[in-house]
Amino acid sequence: MLQLNDVSHVYGNGTRALDHVTLSIPRGMYGLLGPNGAGKSTLMRTVATLQTPTEGTIRFGDIDVIREPERLRRTLGYLPQDFGVYPRVSAYDMLDHMAVLKGVASAGDRKATVEGLLHQVNLWSVRKKALAGFSGGMRQRFGIAQALIGNPELIIVDEPTAGLDPEERNRFLNLLAEIGENVVVILSTHIVEDVSDLCPRMAVLAGGRIQLEGAPLDLIQSTKGRIWMKVIERSELEQYRERFELISTRLFAGRTVVHILSDQEPGEGFTAVEGGLEDVYFSTLAQSRRAA
């Protein structure tokens, strides 16, 4: 289990990116959901020992992550949001090089590791292709392959499906689901569907603080009977925003569909709808903005 207690991080310019974050993250897929600028990447970099928090403690099993970063790195796999590679190097040669850097000294062990990973992420057929020619989804699958070198117990993936087409996204999420059965995998994203599809537990981070934590199904259940929908003209949006607790809007056939949060029937043509994780997420963000 990964345990964060009262973790804060303040950058040199005074920006408080993390504000007393406390989380217990068990084995399996764990979703960290939040908008851009919420502090997700700062939190992932902190857990990955790339920066030291201003205060707080982080433990992974018996490892004190802040005091023993090298111990954690030996059992960590990390796919950052911006994953850089040498573009002219083949996938096979790059993985072999990374295996050396991770301490796989034996040529035979490296061969078995690299070939096994390329098969696992379905890149064997393009193993000799330069990484510059990879699609976005292929690059992300390669990123997971390098993160899996050394059989890590903790894997962090930061915004892994941003920019992927639907087919590549599904392929990548299926791969993550397979990996997440036996280790701790933290999926940091602003895409609600990624979390709803994969994660039995999740947290919402906004403004550097944990706003909500739990099982997606339980969180969705908590909105039952409180989500209401209406189709309005776009010109009416501001007046509805002023009068109701509006949590989301989207366009449909040239008109605007609004969802509001209300404990009682609001009338005025609103109809009750079954809430989803998106409603949970947007209502949490709306409440955090009002509290700010």
37-41, 84-88, 282-286: least confident range: 84-88
Length of the chain: 292
| Most trustworthy range by pLDDT among 11-15, 187-191, 206-210 | 206-210
Tens digits of residue pLDDT in 52-92: 999 999 999 999 999 999 999 989 998 887 766 677 889 99
The span from the CA of 230 to the CA of 155, in Å, is 41
8 A C-beta contact, residue 10 and residue 54: yes
Can you give the three-state secondary structure of 149-199, one letter per residue?
CCCCCEEEEECCCCCCCHHHHHHHHHHHHHHCCCCEEEEEECCHHHHHHHC
Give the other-Cβ count within 10 Å of 264's Cβ.
8
Give the other-Cβ count within 10 Å of 131's Cβ.
18
Q: Which residues have CB under 8 Å from 75's CB, separation 6+?
A: 60, 63, 150, 152, 153, 154
Mean pLDDT of the chain: 89
**For residue 84, what are its two tokens?**
């850089």
